[in-house]
Amino acid sequence: MAESNQKTGLIYHLVPVAISLAAFFLFGCRSEIRPVPNPVAVPDQFSGGGGRPLPEKWWQAFEDPALDALMEEALGGNFTIRIAWDRLTQAEQIAVQAGAALLPQADYQAGAERTRREIDSRRTYTTEYALGLGASYEIDLWGRVRSARQAAVLDARAAQDDLAAAAVTLSANVAKNWYQLLEAKSQESLISDQLETNRKVLDSITVRFRQAQAGAAEVFRQRQLVETTHGQLIQVRESIVLLQHQLSLLLGKPPALGWQQNADELIWPPPLPQTGVPSEALLRRPDIAASYKTVQAADRRVAAAIAEQYPRIGLSASALTYGPRTNDLFDDWLANLAANAAGPLLDGGYRKAEVRRRRAVLSQALNQYALALLNALREVEDALRRETSQRTLIDNLQGRLVLAQKVFETTRTSYLQGQLDYLRVLDALVSMQSLQRDELTARRVLIEHRIDLCRALAGGWQMQRPAQAQLTDKTEPPIQRGP
């Protein structure tokens, strides 16, 4: 009999060990985060590139102090970035909540009850206090809880990459807006000079008209050119104001304030950056990294859905004490320790359908990852090709501009000597001034192509987390929306 009790006790103590060992081996087989192979063939190298590495903060390659200051202000004040920070915080806390199920849960309850009795006109009062403690823990045999937590952690990391991707997009928009503003101000200066030139030509033709050396049509055509140039000046000044408003919005400021800073002339882009090995360069992109982690999270949710089909084993413990006085609460205890198992018996195929749905979500994430890789490759190659073509176009424009200036000077001299009619001079002048404006625009487009290339190659960088927005008594009064 004693030997039988010893065996029973031994079995009683070995059961938890066996369960723990089974959980260990099952968990080790089912809880790993698997790497994601490239779903598309990635080339060994890009079609072009330079020798200088791209800085972590890619815009620093432009060596533009005004742009550096704008970026710092935008990354700290832009509300799209602040929203991305809030989404990251939410994802992080969801991961914390998902991990809480891996730890034992405990709670308490306390109460007091006062009873009045009346017997033969006699009132008696009794008071009873109670205090209870409870704890529970699920043995994660099949890795369901851990897989769900891993998926939530990967979601949080993907949200961090989404934040970095939003910062890259914002920085590219700020840079493009900045250089559009510089081009607009350069256009304003150029058109002002052209307007002055056209007015001088008008004065010259007016003098010749008074001397009967030119017809009235020539005066009217030149006046028309003056007014056309003046109209172009009005349009470019409007563009400057609107670009300042847009830049203010990117910085997180009201458009009414406007962004006022003296603009310099358009810069020439720095030398081409290193494009690197495509497979490595693309994985540095935060949007690609986010898509990669989304695939891994979907894979972990497939594992959690599979584990959901198996029984759950839980442990629970509780203790209850009560007494007529608070000092008596801990004199008597009622304790309980229990183990339970629960699992699906009939669910109408719900859990199997959930597994199939999760596999479809994983397939969708893989296809989206493949599409993101292809788009990233295209963006780099497009930017490289466009920059090459744009440089060729600028060389062509500059050559044509030199010829147009010579044509204008030659025709103007011949006109003053009475050898050519005025229309030839007017055509040469309009062509030269149009090429001057086109050359400025082409230089700005070249800068934008370089920005696109940097954006396609840029990774993330460290940013300071802003304080969360809160409602306080010191906020501005709400906007009145009517009665």
Rounded alpha-carbon distances, angstroms, from residue 261 to 70, 181, 273: 11, 11, 29
CA distance 3 to 224: 118
CA distance 122 to 145: 59
Helix (H, G, I), strand (E, B) or coil at 67: helix
Could you tell me if 247 and 271 lie in one domain?
yes
Can you give the CATH number for the domain in which 432 is found? 1.20.1600.10
Residue 59 pLDDT exceeds 80: yes
Q: For 321-376, how does the pLDDT look when each residue is reduced to its tens digit (9 = 90+)? A: 766 665 655 656 667 777 788 788 888 899 999 999 999 999 999 999 999 999 99
Rounded alpha-carbon distances, angstroms, from residue 412 to 190, 191, 357, 388, 423: 21, 20, 77, 36, 10
Averaged pLDDT, 204-212: 87
Q: For 279-336, how does the pLDDT look when each residue is reduced to its tens digit (9 = 90+)? A: 888 989 999 999 999 999 999 999 999 998 998 888 888 777 766 665 655 656 667 7
Could you tell me if 54 and 120 lie in one domain?
no
Give this prediction's pTM. 0.84
Whether 12 is covered by a domain: the verdict is no
Can you give the CATH number for the domain in which 123 is found? 2.20.200
Could you tell me if 253 and 296 lie in one domain?
yes
Q: For 419-455, how does the pLDDT look when each residue is reduced to its tens digit (9 = 90+)? A: 888 888 899 999 999 999 999 999 999 999 999 999 9
Could you tell me if 325 and 385 lie in one domain?
no
Could you tell me if 89 and 211 lie in one domain?
yes
Whether 3 is covered by a domain: the verdict is no
Could you tell me if 204 and 324 lie in one domain?
no
How many other β-carbons are positioned within 10 Å of the β-carbon of residue 419?
10
Confidence of residue 12 (pLDDT cuts 50, 70, 90): very low
Structural domain tally of the chain? Answer: 2
Whether 315 is covered by a domain: the verdict is yes
Could you tell me if 152 and 134 lie in one domain?
no
Could you tell me if 407 and 281 lie in one domain?
yes
Whether 381 is covered by a domain: the verdict is yes
Could you tell me if 117 and 194 lie in one domain?
no
Domain assignment of residue 366, given as a range: 36-102+141-309+350-457
Q: Which residues pair with 20 in a beta bridge?
A: none
Shortest CA distance to 196 belongs to which of 220, 217, 225, 216? 225
DSSP 117: E
Residue 125 pLDDT exceeds 80: no
Q: Position 214: which residue type?
A: A
Name the region of 63 (left: φ>0; alpha: ψ -120 to 50; beta: rest): left
Helix (H, G, I), strand (E, B) or coil at 25: helix
Could you tell me if 324 and 424 lie in one domain?
no
Could you tell me if 261 and 405 lie in one domain?
yes
Whether 5 is covered by a domain: the verdict is no
Could you tell me if 276 and 330 lie in one domain?
no
Share of the chain above pLDDT 70, in %: 86
Do the beta carbons of residue 449 and residue 170 sit within 8 Å?
no
Whether 47 is covered by a domain: the verdict is yes
Whether 23 is covered by a domain: the verdict is no
Q: For 135-155, how does the pLDDT look when each residue is reduced to its tens digit (9 = 90+)? A: 888 888 888 999 999 999 999
Whether 111 is covered by a domain: the verdict is yes
